[in-house]
Homo-oligomer: A and B are copies of this chain.
Amino acid sequence: MSSPLPRDPIAQARDQWVSHGWDAEADSMAAITAVMRTASIFLQRADSILRPHGLTFARFEVLALLGFSKRGSLPMTHASRLLQVHATSLTNSVDRLEATGLVRRIQHPTDGRTRLLELTAEGANALAAARDDLNEQLFADSGLPVADARELFQILSRFRRASGDFL
């Protein structure tokens, strides 16, 4: 890790792709690899900002989702779909959130199978504090110029739609 490299390693890989004759795949390879690297940069930043709050980005997303829901409660399945993670992953996150008292699992009034997730008062506080920190320390100064952030979001939205994330 450490100090900056003299040249972008992904650009180098792209050159290799081209020089081996995989021209058609080179741009895609470079873009995908860059997405993964960028995600890992952001995830590291977010997690380090959230650590003092006892949260990870995955768990923050759960809290944020609950904070935005009208009733303040959501079935696991619904949350799992909106967050686009496996039910087992969500179970895992919720276990930890419940263990630290930020979230509660309650019975669904009519369907005995489903459990509703609900923010506790503590959870609401943790969410507000964490969100403020993320806004200040990550989102407000992400390293993405506004125009780039918008364009990036547009491109990724097209891709995510095409890949079946949403209609």
| Chain A residues at the B interface, C-beta cutoff of 8 Å | 1-2, 4-14, 16, 22, 24-25, 27-43, 46, 57, 61, 64, 68, 80-86, 134-135, 138-140, 142-146, 148-153, 155-167
Contact = CB atoms under 8 A, between A and B. Distances in A.
A165 B13 CA distance: 15
A139 B32 contact: yes
A61 to B, nearest CB: 8
Contact of A27 (B13, B32, B150, B167): B150
Contact of A9 (B7, B33, B82): B82
Nearest to A167: B4
A145 to B, nearest CB: 8
A89 to B, nearest CB: 10
Nearest to A25: B139
Copies of this chain, tallied across the complex: 2
A76 to B, nearest CB: 13
Contact of A80 (B1, B34, B39, B83): B1
A46 B35 CA distance: 13
B7 A167 contact: yes
A11 B151 CA distance: 14
Contact of A11 (B4, B140, B157): B157
Contacts of A28: 138-140, 142, 144, 146, 149
Contact of A160 (B38, B64, B134): B38
